[in-house]
Structure 1
Amino acid sequence: MGRNLGGLWGAGVNAMQVSPDGLLRLSIDELLSLPIHHLMSAVDLDLVVPRTAVCGCETTISGYTEWVSASCPVVSIGWDWHISLWTAQRPFAWARLGQPRSNVMLVYSTGNDTGWHKNLELLSTVVDALPWQEQLSHSVTALLPSH
């Protein structure tokens, strides 16, 4: 992987470098040690269609969000989201839609890739642990068209 920077990454942890395939190869511990922050979010406006003719008709509000690290090179994780229907506990819920997209390939302690399927599974777990729903609630509300 990269050269060891000791104090910057901790003993025995390698500096991040972009691989020839454009991915950053990190262990799950390295990824979890990086603070990831909200960069931007947007609403898929083409899916927000006013339904003035039909009262009580179900609608869909969805979009995407991107979160990044402050490191160099930057770790980037993005995913699609939607607002799911009413539940007994709350009027609506933010939910991740599909697998995340990222420039990270997670590796085992041996340095071998986890493989793309396992990588996406693990990145999904990381995304689900982020406080993204609250952040999107603040960021996206202002973007929604008013009718």
Structure 2
Amino acid sequence: MTVLVGYLPTPEGDAAFAAALDEAVRRSESLLLINSPRGGAPISADVAAPDDLAHLSAKAVEAGVPLEIRQISHSGEFSDTLLAAADEAGASVIVIGLRRRSPVGKLFLGSTAQQILLNAGRPVLAVKPPHR
């Protein structure tokens, strides 16, 4: 089995990776990291830099966890891409990071995390970064 983590190069993504790595160690499973920029965007802040990925890989090696990194672009909803990857990998759990948002922001913007929580056919671990 595999622990799957949706990763963005943000504090929320870092919190998700840390929780996913801990979960993979606890379960004695491998870790699959999905970093998925929107397809067709000329520049995307969602793409993890090679140095960031090397740092995450080093953390996984240090923890003794096999890590697979997939950088696949998506054209629709990211939640669909993540859930399809979870199904394909047979993930035992999905780990996602949550942003702090106001109630009004949630009302008008929708939530990728909400779609993952509602549509996942497996457990989802949702984490927040430490409060700054």
Which structure's residues are more often strand, by fraction?
1
Q: Same fold (TM over 0.5)?
A: no
Higher helix share: 2
**TM-score of Structure 1 vs Structure 2, range by shorter chain:** under 0.3
User: What is the TM-score with the length of structure 1 in the denominator?
Assistant: 0.23
In our comparison, the structure showing a higher alpha carbon Rg is 1
